[in-house]
Amino acid sequence: MTPVVMPQVGENLTSGVVVEWLKNEGDVVARREVLAIVESEKAAFEVIASAGGTLLKILRPAGQQVDVLATIACIGEAGEIIDLDALAAEGPKSGSQTSTLDAASTATPTTSSSSVTSSSSGRPTLLTPSGRPTVGTTETVPGHTLRGRPFASPSARRLARELLVDLRGVDGSGPAGRVIRRDILAAALRACGGSPRPESVVALPEPVVGPGDRLVRHTRLRQIVASRMSSSARLIPHFYLVADIDVGEARQWLQELADDGVGLTDIIVAAVARALRKFERLNAHVGEGGIVCKADVHIGLAVAVEDGVLVPALSHVDHADLATLGNARRQITAQARRGIVQPDPASTFTVSNLGPMGVSRFLPLINPPECAILAIGVAEERVVAREGRPTIREMLTVTLACDHRAVDGAYAAEFLAHFTQILEAAREYLVDVETVDEPGK
């Protein structure tokens, strides 16, 4: 018997919601097959079968919120008896609430699959698809109720959500150790290197809905975007650098690559990844006590979806050739538009491209915990001076937003210059994916 668990898809995530089961109890499933769609605070993603077999029991139906690493279903052989003790041992933490199952205590099956009957011991029994009974209901499955519930005021819980503070890591200063508002504010301010100053965060007034006005409630995604972007704007000291880049040569090269389905975005993303190899502090996650310079380059792409934005990641961009990159990009953006984002790998740098929508330049908000984000404007023909003469070139304007806690202007400027150099001579730099620094090497 193999348990199916709610995946851990981020360091701070504590729970997810089962959105939809794609398989029913009794279905035969193959290893790596998608069993269900679950939703974390960030996005929807797939739960993959880690073993082949029969989906014996769905313990958490669609709509339920489940702690990460808790068991949501079991895969095994048809007719196999689900051993709850084994399940508990597989779970994130084993606890007191366990049930044992032995053959003697199981009742004779009298009803069809998955219906509840009463056994002689008075305990409800569940029938697996083969008709053999097992003990247990979702309430008796251990591992869901054992995780310590943080002792915090409602206000502290709300603030922790908004400021992306992990409640379990905060010491409470209220009565009996209750975590209260000031504790969350102190933790959030510590996280960005400040000292506690509670009055610095205040609630904005709620809007009034008058006659004829229409109230559009936030979707879950909207709430997540709102809270993450509020935290970004509130806690990250952004600074911006702007550069105009000649993409004439890139465009020419693109025409040769057109058969491979490569677009300008792919060249830009590849150039970013190449430039990041030399500027590890921008390919980083920013934390309380320092920054984590990530070993790999995974570029997040901001994708507009219905009433929100998702940031799926292109993995190992610095080692991918353009055709592969183009394919991967089309795949993840299409998935994102269906609301699905693979949780791994976590992006290390984000690119936001509003150029196709005609925007000339814009100031983006950093996607925490990343260190920087690059905003791409429209590629358009402009009159520029070259060697003392006006000439028409295809140009685009990029805006780099950086976290000033982690990097400074000169470092970011060097990165931007290097990126410009790569993009303007894209063919030389990017034709060989394993080229390290200089063209031709």
Partner 1 sequence: MTTRDLLYRDALNEALHEAMDLDPTVFCIGVGIAERGGSYKVTDGLLAKYGPKRVIDTPIAEASVVGTGVGAAITGMRPVVEILFVDFSLLVMDQLVNQAAKLHLMTGGQGSVPLVLRTQGGVGDGVAAQHSQSLEALFYHIPGLKLVMPSTPYDAKGLLRAAIADDGPVIFIEHKLLYMTQGPVPEEEYVVELGSADTKRTGRDCTLIAWSNMIPRSLEAAELLSAEGLEVEVIDPRTLVPFDHATVLESVRRTEHVVIVQEAVRRGGIASDIASVIQAEAFDYLDAPIEIVAGLDTPVPYSRPLEQACIPQVEDIVAGVKRAVYS
153 interacts with partner 1 by CB under 8 A: yes
- Out of 154, 210, 358, 440, the only residue in the binding site for partner 1 (CB under 8 A) is 154
205 interacts with partner 1 by CB under 8 A: yes
Q: Which stretch binds partner 1 (CB under 8 A): 148-156, 219-227, 242-250, 337-345?
A: 148-156
Pick the closer one to partner 1 by CB: 95 or 174.
174
3-state DSSP assignment of residue 228:
helix
382 pairs with which residues across the strands?
A: 393
Q: Residue 337 is inside which H or E element, if any?
A: helix 322-337
How far, in whole angstroms, is CA 409 from its chain's centroid?
28
Shortest Å, Cβ 224 to partner 1: 16
The pair of structure tokens assigned to 74 is 């079991």
Binding mask 62-101 for partner 1 (x = CB under 8 A): ----------------------------------------
CA distance 58 to 141: 12
227 interacts with partner 1 by CB under 8 A: no
Sign, CA dihedral 410-413-417-423, equals positive
Q: Which stretch binds partner 1 (CB under 8 A): 36-44, 142-150, 153-161, 275-283?
A: 153-161
207 interacts with partner 1 by CB under 8 A: no
189 interacts with partner 1 by CB under 8 A: no
Shortest Å, Cβ 155 to partner 1: 4
180 interacts with partner 1 by CB under 8 A: yes
Q: Are 397 and 361 in contact (CB under 8 A)?
A: yes
| Alpha helix ranges (H) inside 202-307 | 220-235, 248-257, 264-278
Q: Provide the 10 A C-beta neighbour count for residue 398.
A: 23
210 interacts with partner 1 by CB under 8 A: no
Radius of gyration of the chain (CA): 26
Q: Are 328 and 313 in contact (CB under 8 A)?
A: no
Pick the closer one to partner 1 by CB: 217 or 389.
217
Q: Residue 245 is inside which H or E element, if any?
A: strand 238-246
174 interacts with partner 1 by CB under 8 A: yes
The pair of structure tokens assigned to 177 is 């150790």
The pair of structure tokens assigned to 139 is 């309430």
Q: Are 300 and 311 in contact (CB under 8 A)?
A: yes
Q: Which stretch binds partner 1 (CB under 8 A): 70-78, 79-87, 167-175, 425-433?
A: 167-175
The pair of structure tokens assigned to 62 is 């669609």
| Cα–Cα distance list, 63 to 18, 38, 47 (Å) | 5, 9, 15
What is the maximal distance between C-alpha atoms in the chain?
96
358 interacts with partner 1 by CB under 8 A: no
199 interacts with partner 1 by CB under 8 A: yes
203 interacts with partner 1 by CB under 8 A: yes
Q: Which stretch binds partner 1 (CB under 8 A): 110-118, 173-181, 327-335, 400-408?
A: 173-181
181 interacts with partner 1 by CB under 8 A: yes
3-state DSSP assignment of residue 311:
coil
Residue closest to 32 by CA, chosen among 54, 9, 50: 50
Shortest Å, Cβ 154 to partner 1: 5
Size of the residue set binding partner 1 (CB under 8 A): 16
Pick the closer one to partner 1 by CB: 83 or 162.
162
Pick the closer one to partner 1 by CB: 80 or 183.
183
Shortest Å, Cβ 201 to partner 1: 11
CA distance 220 to 226: 10
Pick the closer one to partner 1 by CB: 161 or 427.
161
223 interacts with partner 1 by CB under 8 A: no
Pick the closer one to partner 1 by CB: 61 or 198.
198
Subset of 239-268 contacting partner 1 (CB under 8 A): none
The pair of structure tokens assigned to 119 is 């056994």
Residues that bind partner 1 (CB under 8 A): 153-158, 173-175, 180-181, 199, 202-203, 205-206
